[in-house]
Chain A
């Protein structure tokens, strides 16, 4: 199959890649760029384990073609925080036991990262609605919701302190 050249800016780094037109973004990220944070849980866009941030929107990268993402800015879990500078969400998920097996976690945090930019002061109901495209089999969501609300609070406090 003839390949197509695409340019993806992932976590701030620009890559030129030759991909098959049918190649899914998730496999390009995982197998070509070795960003194995986003996972494949269903391949039908139900579970959200593959969630990444694409041009400022949460997308399920198992149902986006890499060719469609040509020229896009993409953020994966690997770009959200660094070992010596974790994102507040990453800290709060640990603090409030918002994860167990860890398989949904990268997608969940990546979704929450966008959600809190869309709505920096969400109610519990808004968080529950906002992450309803991301499934978790381990936690029953209660502590995930708690983690996201705690992160929102901290981020707002930090913002206030900076102003």
Chain B
């Protein structure tokens, strides 16, 4: 017993896996000493600003910069003509398309970059933007993807006659690709033969990640030594370096990319934007540092929207509710350029996780990408690639099917869940789910909220409403989601040809502390805290003695960055594997020091102990010192390791979310009375950080489901360009959340962790939306598109005849 206590004491001193360790980042952040890109100031630094298009579709007749250039303090005004000799007036997108850096002959969306002004300070740059005279000739605007596919109006004249795109044949001049997965024939057959079929169009509206810090960069070309340094809001700094090298012709070793502290990313900071390219070119030309920071309006109008998927679902089942087939056809509005951030082979991301948590024997999906006069993007806003769209689609279709069957939606889910013993599970759309125990999670969730009691209360409320005693309805929003995160493996997943592995490099210092560098970059997730915990448990040094560094391509090993919840599944695995290499060498050193054979030693928390002789041991601290001060035969000095980890599979976190919402029929106002979130992210590294991720992710889901959208009028004007119109919840209407968990480790991840950052957004959106729908189910509501703002909820009540 005493031994056990002593061991536990040593274990807890490490602050390793499972410890709610306080975050090391917070010390500087709480004192205002974070270091974000706009905090960078360098002698002689110039400021860039954009002239942007007021039109959604227009020919650029002329650009006259003479008045701007005459303004004192203006250094240059760049247009496409200036970039053309460098072949930088267009740039490749992550999706195999190309995008104008500056308007080349025409503009295709409101807010598009037309000219780049470089001036001595931000005020002069803004003045000069006003002085650039651009003459436009308006063209017909297409904002509806269905109309775009029928229209004679050609949006992309540069590829008007191309029959093939990056992802196969194009059917129309505004069509980008068709992408399919699954068995169309068998699915049609099953739907044709089914006892019950539910069909519905589900729209997941266009929105935006809108991190509090907008995008920006400082590019600095040092002409003396030929080195280009680029600081910026980059979720994937190493990929930015490779792209910058390929585009500029500067050798990769002469480019250093640094992601300093990042004020939230949520997918917004994965892509490469015209502002980065222009700042780099301007610095190369002028030889001084050039800063470009977008403002909020530019952020919302031009960099990286998310979603905009029209999903036509058909789900077939037996009369008892056993699902027999699923078919989904998506019309995907990609805007003016296909700039989706997806692994190369997957133009619709991992949308084919759309069978969700259910054992569906046959399925088929097809996605048509379409050009419109809207901003480019299509990033994964706090989700793995197109997974939130998929989860929303299936979780809505389940609800619609429940209505069709006259069944309870919780029971319908339960009878269709993939069973625990079916894992690893092969889905009809080609995925191998690693592990799961959905029934346990579901039962725990229903019990926690007293589901039966809630249904009873809801039925009573409906009766009271009918009797005229209340004007508020009660909605119970159910969701059981399955995520797919942690891309690679390399054989399936790449970004611009770079395989989606990740990396960790560890150096143990002689006195028993360490530094580890990773290919990822934190944007608030707390990597400096949690990765040190993974390592502490692997190598037996306290997390407090381990520095974690990311984001500087001159020092960190190459990695694909942080998005799609891939940091823990991939870089976290690399960290554990590199730690194990350290331990393997440490074992040999310990064996030498203790004069025993390697095999006579066993690992015990923070030390190697001679088997059967616990008093004879060497701690990792002893070993670290010996690695540097002893000549050990057959061993190199030092204690370092590096691991590049190519994951064998993705991980499949899952969860059960339940939202209880009061909806006012007369005003459309809503109030979240209760929100219960059960997450299973496999092994839990830091419960405090997990809980924080869930709170934040569910709040972003609340925003998306209940009000947040990027909306355009028929002229292609963006109607939601400021935080006055674009909804970010405040503390006032954001509810408190109850978090819970089950723990089903991933069988293929070295420590069993699955990733959690994006689950709450994936599960949260359908939970809120289903609550709104459920409130009106008794009155015949089947489907109403998000966002469910007060006006739209009022309209639901109006259309159902609930207003006197």
User: Which residues of A does B touch, CB under 8 Å?
Assistant: 20, 22-23, 27, 30-31, 34-44, 46-47, 49, 76-78, 81, 83, 86, 89-91, 93-95, 97, 99-106, 109, 127-129, 131-145
| Cα(A5)–Cα(B696), bound, Å | 44
Question: How would you classify the secondary structure of chain A's contact residues: helix, strand, loop or mixed?
Answer: loop
Pair B696/A137 contact, Cβ less than 8 Å = yes
Known: A31-B41, A132-B731, A135-B723. A23 touches B296 (CB 8 A): no
- Chain A binder among B260-268, B395-403, B497-505, B598-606: B260-268
Distance between Cα atoms of A77 and B34 in the complex (Å):
11
From the candidates A30, A101, A143, A144, name the one contacting B263 in the complex (CB within 8 A). Answer: A101
CB of B437 within 8 Å of the partner chain: no
Residue of B nearest to A141 (CB): B731
Residues of B within 8 A of A131 (CB): 731
Of the candidates B28, B36, B695, the one having the most CB atoms from chain A within 10 angstroms of its own CB is B695
For the complex, give the distance between the alpha carbons of A81 and B26 in Å: 14
Give the docked Cα–Cα distance between A27 and B126 (Å): 14
Asked whether B722 lies within 8 Å of A44 as measured between CB atoms, the reply is yes
Q: Is the CB of B688 within 8 A of A97?
A: yes
Chain B window 26-47, contacts with chain A (Cβ cutoff 8 Å), 1 for yes, 0 for no: 1111111111101101000000
Q: Is the CB–CB distance between B731 and A103 below 8 Å?
A: no
- Please state if A102 and B263 are interface contacts (CB–CB under 8 Å): yes
Residues 731-757 of B, flagged 1 when their CB comes within 8 A of A and 0 if not, give 110101100000000000000000000
Q: Which residues of B contact A43 (CB under 8 A)?
A: 295-296
Contact B731 A102 (CB under 8 A): no
Question: B212 near A135 (CB under 8 angstroms)?
Answer: yes
B494 at the interface (CB under 8 A from A): no
**A39/B30 contact (C-beta < 8 A), A47-B723, A139-B692, A139-B695 known:** no
Instruction: Judge whether A94 and B296 touch: CB under 8 Å.
Output: no
Within 686-733 of B, Cβ neighbours of A (below 8 Å) are at 688-689, 691-692, 695-700, 722-724, 728, 730-732
Give B526's nearest chain A residue, CB to CB.
A100
* Total residue contacts A-B, CB cutoff 8 A: 172
Q: Cβ of B26: which chain A residues have Cβ within 8 Å of it? A: 93-94, 99, 102
Bound-complex Cα distance A45 to B769 (A): 30
Decide yes or no whether B462 CB sits under 8 A from chain A.
Answer: no
Would A44 and B724 be within 8 Å (CB), given that A132-B730, A140-B734 are in contact?
yes
Contacts of A39 in B (CB 8 A): 36, 38, 212-213, 263
15 CB < 8 A contacts A-B = A35-B32, A42-B296, A44-B722, A49-B212, A77-B31, A97-B688, A100-B525, A102-B28, A103-B211, A106-B32, A109-B30, A127-B731, A132-B730, A137-B211, A140-B734
Contact B32 A138 (CB under 8 A): no
- For A23, what are the chain B residues with a Cβ–Cβ distance below 8 Å? 123
Given A91-B30, A105-B32: 18 more A-B contacts, CB < 8 Å: A31-B41, A44-B722, A77-B31, A83-B31, A90-B31, A94-B27, A100-B525, A101-B212, A103-B264, A128-B732, A131-B731, A134-B731, A135-B723, A137-B212, A137-B264, A137-B696, A141-B695, A141-B734
Cα distance, A3 to B426, chains bound together (Å) = 70
Q: Mark B664-692, 1 if CB is under 8 A from A, else 0.
A: 00000000000000000000000011011
- Kindly supply a per-residue 1/0 record for chain B positions 183-196, scoring 1 wherever the CB is within 8 Å of any chain A CB and 0 otherwise: 00000000000000
Residues of A within 8 A of B266 (CB): 137
Asked if A41 contacts B36 (CB within 8 A), the reply is no
User: Would you call A99 and B29 a contact (CB within 8 A)?
Assistant: yes
Report which B residues bind A (CB closer than 8 A): 22-23, 25-36, 38-39, 41, 122-123, 210-214, 261-264, 266, 293, 295-296, 523-526, 688-689, 691-692, 695-700, 722-724, 728, 730-732, 734, 736-737
Complex Cα distance A20/B127, Å?
A: 14
Are the C-beta atoms of A103 and B724 separated by less than 8 Å?
no
| Minimum-distance CB pairs A-B, first 6 | A37-B32, A101-B524, A103-B263, A102-B29, A77-B32, A140-B699
Contact of A22 among B39, B123, B722 (CB under 8 A): B123
The reply to whether A101 and B22 form a contact with Cβ atoms under 8 Å apart is no
Most chain A C-beta atoms within 10 Å of own C-beta, residue among B32, B296, B734: B32
Residues of A within 8 A of B30 (CB): 81, 86, 89-91, 93-94, 99, 102, 105, 109
- A18 smallest CB distance to B (angstroms): 14
Report the bound CA distance from A78 to B421 in whole Å.
56
Complex CA distance for A129 and B733, rounded to whole angstroms: 9
> Which residues in A have their C-beta under 8 angstroms from that of B264?
100-101, 103, 137-138
Shortest Cβ distance from A95 into chain B, in angstroms? 7
Q: With the chains together, A45 CA to B734 CA distance in Å?
A: 20
Please name all residues of chain A whose beta carbon is closer than 8 Å to the beta carbon of B688 when the two chains form the complex. 97
Which chain B residue lies CB-closest to A129? B732
- Do B212 and A139 have beta carbons less than 8 Å apart? no
CA distance A76 to B33 in the complex (A): 12
Quick one: given A128-B731, A136-B212, are A40 and B32 in contact (CB under 8 Å)? Answer: no
Tell me, in angstroms, the Cα distance from A152 to B379 when the chains sit together: 41
Specify which chain B residues have a CB less than 8 angstroms from the CB of A41 in the assembled complex: 212-214, 263, 296
Please give the distance in Å from A58's CB to the nearest CB on chain B: 14
In the complex, what distance in Å separates the CA atom of A83 from the CA atom of B737? 33
Task: Identify the closest chain B residue to A35 (Cβ).
Answer: B32
Q: In the complex, which residues of chain B have a beta carbon less than 8 angstroms from the beta carbon of A134? A: 731
Cβ distance B306 to chain A, nearest Cβ, rounded Å: 14
Chain B residues in 8 Å Cβ range of A30: 38-39
In chain B, what residue has the closest Cβ to A22? B123
A129 to B23, CA, bound (A): 27
Known A77-B31, A90-B30, A140-B734; contact A34-B41, beta-carbon cutoff 8 A: yes
B25 contacts A102, C-beta separation under 8 Å: yes
Q: Is A36 within 8 A of B32, CB to CB? A: yes
A27 and B122 form a contact (CB under 8 A): yes
The answer to whether B737 touches A142, judged by C-beta atoms less than 8 angstroms apart, is yes
User: CA separation between A161 and B723, bound complex, in Å?
Assistant: 44
B39, B210, B264, B293: residue with the most chain A Cβ atoms closer than 10 Å: B264
CA distance A37 to B31 in the complex (A): 7
Given contacts A94-B26, A137-B211, contact A102 B31 (CB under 8 A): no
Q: For A76, what are the chain B residues with a Cβ–Cβ distance below 8 Å?
A: 32
Residues in B whose Cβ lies below 8 Å from that of A95: 22
**From residue A136, how far is it (CB to closest CB) to chain B in Å?**
7
Taking the closest CB of chain B, its distance from the CB of A29, in whole angstroms, is: 11
Q: Which of A76, A101, A139 has the most CB of B within 10 A?
A: A101
